[in-house]
Amino acid sequence: MRVCHQKPAPPNGQSPALPRGLVGETFAGMKTRIIQDETAVSAPVIAIHNLTKDFGTIRAVDDLSFVAAEGKVVGFLGPNGSGKTTTLRSLVGLVTPTSGTATINGVLYRELHDPLSEVGVMLEATAHPGRTARDHLRVLAAEARVPAKRVDELLELVDLGGAARRRVGGFSLGMHQRLGLAAALMGDPRILILDEPANGLDPEGIRWLRDFLRGLASEGRTVLLSSHVLSEVAQTVDEVVVINHGRLVTHAPLEALTSETTRRVRVRSPQYEKLAEVLASSGLTAWSDGADALLVAGDTQEAIGQLAFDHDVVLYEIATEASNLEDVFFELTSTPVLEATP
Amino acid sequence: MTALVRSELLKLRTLRSTGFVLLGLLGIVGITLIASISEAEASNTPAELRDPLLLIGYVTALFLVAMAANASAGEFRHRTISQRFLCNPARGRVLVAKMVTYAVAGAIVAVAMVGLAIAVSDPVLVSKDLSLGLGGIELARMAGGVVIGAVVFAILGVVVGMVSRNPTTAVVAIFGLLLAELLIGSLIGGPTNYFPFALLQSVLGLTDHTPWGLAALILAAVTVASVVAAWRLFLWRDVT
């Protein structure tokens, strides 16, 4: 059995679970959290506002809103099929939103004067398999009116100098990703939008990517980085936007997410099912954890103990557990969104 | 636009398949020349001697339409079209650049192939006391037909590729249309003289079913209509 409910947003729109110094909001009637560092004053360079995209009867993105501030590295997270790629494609004008807007520096992508010098985009690491890495970038450089010497600089930057004259068809996935990054950096942009850049990389490749992105971030670039694995980007991002079923689940600084959301309470009870109902009716999220145990998120050990006592539920055990990033991500994205809508 | 066209030309130059297409065309030119020269004595008029050269123009146009369609659709297959549209959010510019590139390259290739065929066959025919009869007007008409055929079919190839977004579908659609035109032509005759491949033959001078000027005009109209339809109906589809 699995009980999975989200806590309804309190009337003032703030989540009681939020750490001090953070503010929360609700979006579209479901419990979502926007947690912002009050000291952050940077202007948003990427703004998604009530974005919705339908493909026929399938709603890929559903009233999604969030912003990415200048100089931040934002992880854009969600399971496969959650709408990340559609959102990013809407942001750069490859997909036309059904409603809502997605802007960069306040304007639509197609209104940017010189797009590649403002935004570097890697949506998929693709190139014609019959063309060499160098020729692939030369084509892009010619198109973007970038001096050809930039091509060799970029190949060295992504450690592909030795493979410059090899045909892309013979590249490993990691080399494809590096080439995609090189293409994204062609115009030396201040904003980078990278869709699953670590997808399929081996541990060494992920480490290389992490160091590479850290280097970009240290230069003050704004990076919007999608992934379906939180731990993959955890050491790189400043904040995370989590979506599921096309909807915003949470937008928070990474520390807030890992310090607050990772707290879970494990409860054992012979009245397991009754406890599950009590927790659900109180709006808490609970997961089955063995034959007679539940993992509860969203409140403290004391509050859950009091709740059980108030409803005459016998407890054998109650303890706070810390969970890892994978658990946090799973908790955030495994909740059926429809149940979360009041 | 210049940068875009330069980029498109660079794309053509940096693929081995472009070389294979040119080699294939040269092979066809060679085979056609050998066959036509060896049977030259059987021809009664200069016009009959010119037919193999015009056939080279026709085959070149077929190669160009297939190549342009395959390359344009290949941008979607290999997903490189995203980079094109990211660099040029005004997608019409990408379409125009491709059309200009393939039209110019196609015209050069077609003139080069037919020119090569003339350069090789003319001295041989003269040595056999035969003549192609390429006076100023005939030469101009032949060159005009070859250029118009190459330009029109290269542009149509780009349009078919951008609309279909799949190289196999694009090439099958083109040669399916050719086959259908031949089949329908064998059944109903006359009206198919105004179909694209029949008009190409008229423009080149391979047939005289439709006057040269009218055939060129209709082909131009078909091309313009196709480009406008592709621009308005298909260019702005989502790239997923």
- Band (A288; pLDDT cuts 50, 70, 90): confident
Q: How many angstroms separate the CA of residue B233 from the nearest CA in chain A? A: 14
Tell me which DSSP letter residue A27 carries. Answer: B
Closest chain B CA to residue A89: B240
DSSP H/E element including A265? strand A263-268
Each residue of B25-60: pLDDT tens digit? 899 888 888 887 777 677 667 777 778 888 888 989
Task: Look up the pTM and report it.
Answer: 0.75
* Chain B residues near residue A109 by CB distance under 8 angstroms: 89
With contacts defined as CB-CB under 8 Å, which chain B residues touch A116?
86-87
Structural domain boundaries in chain A: 22-259, 263-322
ipTM above 0.90, yes or no: no
Chain A residues lying within 8 Å of B240, measured CB to CB:
55, 86, 89, 94-95
Spatial separation of the C-alpha atoms in residues A161 and A152, rounded to whole Å: 7
Domains A22-259 and A263-322 fall in the same CATH topology: no
Taking contacts as CB-CB distances below 8 angstroms, the residues of chain A near B79 are 124, 126
Average predicted confidence (pLDDT) for chain B: 87
Q: Domain A263-322, what fold? A: Alpha-Beta Plaits (3.30.70)
Shortest alpha-carbon distance between residue A59 and chain B (Å): 14
Q: CA nearest A140 in B: which residue?
A: B7
Compute the residue count for chain B. 240
In terms of CA atoms, which chain A residue is nearest residue B77? Answer: A128
Test the A interface: residue of B87, B94, B101, B239 with most A CBs within 10 Å: B87
CATH number for A22-259: choose from 3.30.465.10, 3.40.190.80, 3.30.470.10, 3.40.50.300.
3.40.50.300
The DSSP call for residue B240 is: -
| A94 touching chain B per CB within 8 A | yes
Q: CB neighbours of B178 closer than 8 A, spacing ≥ 6?
A: B62, B197
Smallest Cα distance from A53 to chain B, Å = 11
pLDDT (tens digit per residue) in A122-161: 987 688 888 999 999 999 999 988 888 899 999 998 888 8
- Give me the percent of chain A exceeding a pLDDT of 90: 25
Length, in residues, of chain A: 342
pLDDT 10s digits, A15-24: 333 332 233 3
Pick from A86, A116, A123: CB nearest B82: A123
Q: Which chain A residues are closer than 8 Å to B85 by Cβ? A: 93-94
Name the residue among A170, A175, A165, A178 with its Cα closest to residue A135. Answer: A165
Q: Is the pLDDT of residue B217 over 50?
A: yes
Interface check for A191 against chain B (CB to CB < 8 A): the answer is no
Inter-chain Cβ pairs, chain A and chain B, closer than 8 A: 82
Q: Which long-range contacts (CB under 8 A, 24 or more apart) does B223-230 make?
A: B223/B152, B223/B155, B223/B156, B223/B159, B226/B155, B226/B156, B226/B159, B227/B95, B227/B99, B227/B155, B227/B159, B230/B95, B230/B159, B230/B162, B230/B163
Would you kindly state where each structural domain of chain B is located, as residue ranges? Answer: 2-233
Report chain A's mean pLDDT, rounded to a whole number: 79
- Asked if A135's CB is within 8 angstroms of B14's CB, the reply is yes
Q: Is A124 on the interface with B (CB under 8 A)?
A: yes
Q: Is the Cβ of A114 closer than 8 Å to some Cβ of chain B?
A: no
A166 near B CB under 8 A: no
Task: Encode pLDDT of A217-227 as tens digits.
Answer: 888 888 999 98
